Amino acid sequence: MFEVIFLQFLNGLDKGAAYALIALGLTLVFGTLGVVNFAHGALFMLGAFCAVMFRQFLTLETVTIDPTQTSPWGAPLEIRTPLVQAWFGDFGAVLVNYSVPFSILITIPIMLLLGIALERGIIKHFYKRPHAEQILVTFGLAIVAQEVIKSIFGPNPIPQPMPTDLRGAADIGSWIGFQANVITYPLWRLIYFLFSAIVIGGVFAFLQFTTFGMVVRAGMADRETVGLLGINIDRRFTIMFGLAAVVAGMAGVMYTPLLPPNYHLGMDFLVLSFVVVVVGGMGSLPGAVAAGFLLGILQSFASMTQVKDVIPGIDQIIIYLVAVVILLVRPRGLMGRRGVMES
Amino acid sequence: MTILKSGMSRRRLLQTGMAGIIGSGVAPMMFTKGAWAQEFCNNPTGDTVTLGLNLPLTGAYAEEGADEQKAYELAIAHLNGEGDGGLLNVLTPSALTGNGILGKKVGYVTSDSQTKSDVARAGATRMIERDGAIMITGGSSSGEAVAVQGLCQEMGVIFMAGLTHSNDTTGKDKRRYGFRHFFNAYQSGTALGPVLSNAYGNDRRAYHLTADYTWGWTQEESIKNTTEALGWDTVEAVRTPLGAGDFSQFLTPVLNSGADVLILNHYGNDMVNSLTQAVQFGMRDRQANGKDFQIVVPLFSELMAKGAGENIKGIFGTSNWHWNLQDPGSIAFTKSFGAAYGSPPSQAAHTCYVQTLLYADAVERAGTFYPPEVIKALEGHEFDGMGNGRTLYRAEDHQCMKSVLVVQGNDAPTSEYDVLNVVEEVDAATVDYDPSIFGGELGPAEPAPVCA
């Protein structure tokens, strides 16, 4: 039984990692700019499609006809050669194999620029508008992003293979004293969890230990006073929006081998991530992360057969049920601050 | 008044002639034929006839939907006398001439069913009411097929099902206006059982993950019946939502359940995802109960196998048809399809192409588009040359009775399309069954006058 519970716990960490990464970005935007950003799920999806785009570029092929061979339908055989492999040989093959992790390198600048352009071009005009209007405009942006991706890449999921060396399962049980092959878990899912832990740790360290982060935190606490000190807080907040977009984009990239992305990917995560933010406490970064992992783990345990036998369908509603209970007991969420979204 | 030489007046001649016609029984047919022109849904009056293609172009089975569309377009081109004629050249017996259907050029309208039953039904309604479709065809899920054939029965429009594998389609939910060429879950179980017994023995413990809708339920039931008859235990059967994407929460409990076989009652993208993730969980490298852990996918398709890549190697399943078969029909279809689209056809493409031709042939043989006559022409019709051997469209349940293929993921593919090997071709007699075991009623053939 311990093995079953432990495996579900790992599953929960894996799911929670995705929730926490998206919720972290949402909270960064809300905490700094005070904007409820319904386009954040779309940023996750756009990050995933950076990986798709990168792989499609790497796998561009030249087609030559071999008249000496025929296809099963009797036509001359087409020989397809990937361009990158033709140019770079073995290194090209490595690039294609590791296209998902390598695509992070192009995702960071793309998402940073996209985030900054979004904030400067549209979001900044809605800072002083009611939250309902912010939701409407950002939701509209999400739909536009969705439709653009749908028109370019089509409506269907596009599988992104993980590197061949990382496809198997890790024998975690043997690491902690169990027999071999009793507790095994997919290597990529462990990597995703570690990756999210590093990103979350990096964001916290950036805010905690750099001057930039210190100013941003001061601005989050009292924007006007920081502004009166002669600090251009708006520029820093713009960069924070870009940073949130980068976090969402990287989370999307690394998730592609686990779930082939399609244009709707962002919406699938958006609602859950908002529940995570509300449960964690609006504007609280540690709250968002804690709630992400908590709800991921609870959802995983709720999907166990033994639990569903007792309460059928509990896996579908557990997150909302827990949200209701937590908000009844702690109306500001787990770590919510007084005055945030309270008039 | 003109008096004829025989002494009979013209009026008398007409009266006598009419009496003779009525007496000889020609009149009912003549009047009925006149009535068909007035009374049935979307009777084509111009020089074209429109078919309604209900295709899952998005959703969990979208890959199949895209291939189905290609097949329909090819079939319609061949019916209109374009291209190389494809299976028109090998269908026997055949009333098809390559001059459309009853001399009318064949056209089509399409609707994206999104792999959803309600959307499929709405799309079929639109194609019948707005676009004047004389026949509806397509679909890649049994949920869609059952929903659409129910609608077609209500509206008096024939439905030639695309890919649908649930026992219910021609079982408890069968309809007079619905026809299925594809095989079913019961036949998969019958064909697969002996192969599984030979490969894995009779002492196994199976864990089912099942798509939670009509097809998944009946496949789970049929495969359980088969494996339990072999002596296998069923450890657990867990239902998963269609289009779940991430199956990790369902796969984790399999690892320590005591099972040594995982049976994936999934299809399309769901199967690609669940199989890929099962392999990621190390299931193909595991030992359980002192045996190598195995995965079985009872319903396979080439498109799924291609999507799942290396994960499919060595895995057993069943198929309705495979492009590499060497009979004249399969060779002709693969050649036509490959020349048109640059890839071999899937089993979904094959069944949709064949259904279109069978409908057209039935109309030609009936000499009318009037559905009750077309139904009569299809019921009990035997044909050959379409790639599945001699085939009977069984009158009792509108299920095509033909051979079934047991296939296995290819360990050493020579091309990106060479993903499945045909292990065994199980003949029609072996997979035959009593149509009454699944219940259901076909219903009446007379169309309801609901279609404007």
Please give, rounded to a whole number of angstroms, the shortest distance from the CA of B430 to a CA of chain A.
30
Nearest to B225, CA basis, from B188, B266, B170, B195: B188
Residues belonging to chain A: 343
Residues paired with residue A170 on neighbouring β-strands, in sequence order: A185
Q: Please check whether residue A63 is in contact with residue A80, taking contact to mean a CB–CB distance below 8 angstroms.
A: yes
Spatial distance between the Cα atoms of B227 and B261, rounded to a whole number of angstroms: 11
Contact B248 A14 (CB under 8 A): yes
B35: pLDDT strictly greater than 50: no
Q: Which pLDDT does position B29 carry in this prediction?
A: 41
B22: pLDDT strictly greater than 50: no
Q: Which pLDDT does position B309 carry in this prediction?
A: 78
Q: Please check whether residue B49 is in contact with residue B104, taking contact to mean a CB–CB distance below 8 angstroms.
A: yes
Q: Which pLDDT does position A308 carry in this prediction?
A: 80
Q: Which pLDDT does position B121 carry in this prediction?
A: 96
* Token code pair at residue A339: 């005055």
B8: pLDDT strictly greater than 60: no
**Could you tell me which residues of chain A have a Cβ less than 8 Å from any Cβ in chain B?**
3-4, 7-8, 10-11, 14-15, 71-75, 78, 155-157, 159, 161, 167-169, 181-182, 184-189, 258-260, 268, 299-300, 303-305, 315
Q: Please check whether residue B126 is in contact with residue B157, taking contact to mean a CB–CB distance below 8 angstroms.
A: no
A333: three-class secondary structure by DSSP: coil
Q: Please check whether residue A13 is in contact with residue A293, taking contact to mean a CB–CB distance below 8 angstroms.
A: yes
Spatial distance between the Cα atoms of B236 and B253, rounded to a whole number of angstroms: 10
Q: Which pLDDT does position B152 carry in this prediction?
A: 95
Q: Which residues of B touch A189 (CB under 8 A)?
A: 248, 280
Please give, rounded to a whole number of angstroms, the shortest distance from the CA of B213 to a CA of chain A.
16
Of A272 and B360, more confident: B360
Q: Which pLDDT does position B451 carry in this prediction?
A: 64
Other residues' Cβ atoms within 10 Å of the Cβ of residue B368: 19
Nearest to B382, CA basis, from B401, B360, B355, B368: B401
B157: pLDDT strictly greater than 50: yes
| pLDDT, mean over chain B | 88
A305: pLDDT strictly greater than 80: no
The mean pLDDT of A114-134, rounded to a whole number, is 88
Per-residue model confidence as pLDDT tens digits over A42-88? 999 999 999 999 999 998 888 888 888 888 777 888 887 778 877 88
Please give, rounded to a whole number of angstroms, the shortest distance from the CA of B210 to a CA of chain A.
14
B1: pLDDT strictly greater than 70: no
Q: Is B164 exposed, middle or buried (0-12, 13-18, 19+ CB in 10 A)?
A: buried
Spatial distance between the Cα atoms of B414 and A71, rounded to a whole number of angstroms: 11
Q: Which residues of B touch A295 (CB under 8 A)?
A: none
Interface test with A, best of B256, B330, B414, B422 (most A CBs within 10 A): B256
Contact A260 B417 (CB under 8 A): no
Residues A2-59+84-329, CATH architecture? Orthogonal Bundle (1.10)
* Token code pair at residue A66: 């071999």
Spatial distance between the Cα atoms of A64 and A79, rounded to a whole number of angstroms: 5
Contact B252 A8 (CB under 8 A): yes
- Residues 269-308 on B with a CB inside 8 Å of A are 269, 272-273, 276-277, 279-282, 285-287, 307
Q: Which amino acid is at B402?
A: K
**DSSP assignment of A162-195:** PPGGG-SEEEHHHHTTPPTTSSEEEHHHHHHHHH
Residues paired with residue B424 on neighbouring β-strands, in sequence order: B406
Pairing of strands B205-211, B261-265: parallel
Q: Which residues of B touch A185 (CB under 8 A)?
A: 281
* Chains A & B: contacts with CB separation below 8 Å: 102
Q: Which pLDDT does position A38 carry in this prediction?
A: 87
At residue B26 the predicted structure's pLDDT band, cuts being 50, 70 and 90, is: very low
Contact B62 A155 (CB under 8 A): yes
Q: Which pLDDT does position B17 carry in this prediction?
A: 46
A62: three-class secondary structure by DSSP: strand
Q: Which pLDDT does position A134 carry in this prediction?
A: 87
Q: Please check whether residue B319 is in contact with residue B304, taking contact to mean a CB–CB distance below 8 angstroms.
A: no
Contact A7 B256 (CB under 8 A): yes
Q: Please check whether residue B361 is in contact with residue B393, taking contact to mean a CB–CB distance below 8 angstroms.
A: no
Question: Domains of chain B by range and CATH?
Answer: 48-183+323-402 (3.40.50.2300), 186-319 (3.40.50.2300)
Contact B63 A156 (CB under 8 A): yes
A143: pLDDT strictly greater than 70: yes
Please give, rounded to a whole number of angstroms, the shortest distance from the CA of B412 to a CA of chain A.
17
Contact B344 A168 (CB under 8 A): no
A230: three-class secondary structure by DSSP: coil
Q: Which pLDDT does position A233 carry in this prediction?
A: 84
Please give, rounded to a whole number of angstroms, the shortest distance from the CA of A53 to a CA of chain B.
19
Q: Which residues of B touch A156 (CB under 8 A)?
A: 58, 62-63, 269
Q: Please check whether residue A59 is in contact with residue A96, taking contact to mean a CB–CB distance below 8 angstroms.
A: yes
Nearest to A52, CA basis, from A121, A137, A110, A114: A110
Please give, rounded to a whole number of angstroms, the shortest distance from the CA of B281 to a CA of chain A.
5
Domain boundaries, chain A: 2-59+84-329
Spatial distance between the Cα atoms of A78 and B299, rounded to a whole number of angstroms: 30
B45: pLDDT strictly greater than 60: yes
Q: Which pLDDT does position B5 carry in this prediction?
A: 42
Pairing of strands B158-161, B261-265: unpaired
Cis status, amide bond into A161, omega within 30 of 0: no
* Token code pair at residue B94: 């055949």
Q: Which amino acid is at B229?
A: A
Q: Which pLDDT does position A333 carry in this prediction?
A: 86
Q: Which pLDDT does position A197 carry in this prediction?
A: 94
Contact A71 B338 (CB under 8 A): yes
Residues belonging to chain B: 452
Q: Please check whether residue A286 is in contact with residue A24, taking contact to mean a CB–CB distance below 8 angstroms.
A: no
Spatial distance between the Cα atoms of B420 and B312, rounded to a whole number of angstroms: 9
Other residues' Cβ atoms within 10 Å of the Cβ of residue B225: 15
Nearest to B86, CA basis, from B384, B386, B333, B389: B333
Q: Which pLDDT does position B151 carry in this prediction?
A: 94
ipTM of the predicted assembly exceeds 0.90: no
Q: CB-based contacts of A334: which residues, under 8 Å, 6+ apart?
A: A279, A280, A281, A284, A287, A290, A291, A294, A326
Please give, rounded to a whole number of angstroms, the shortest distance from the CA of A278 to a CA of chain B.
24
Per-residue model confidence as pLDDT tens digits over B399-445? 999 999 999 999 888 887 888 999 999 999 999 999 999 999 999 88
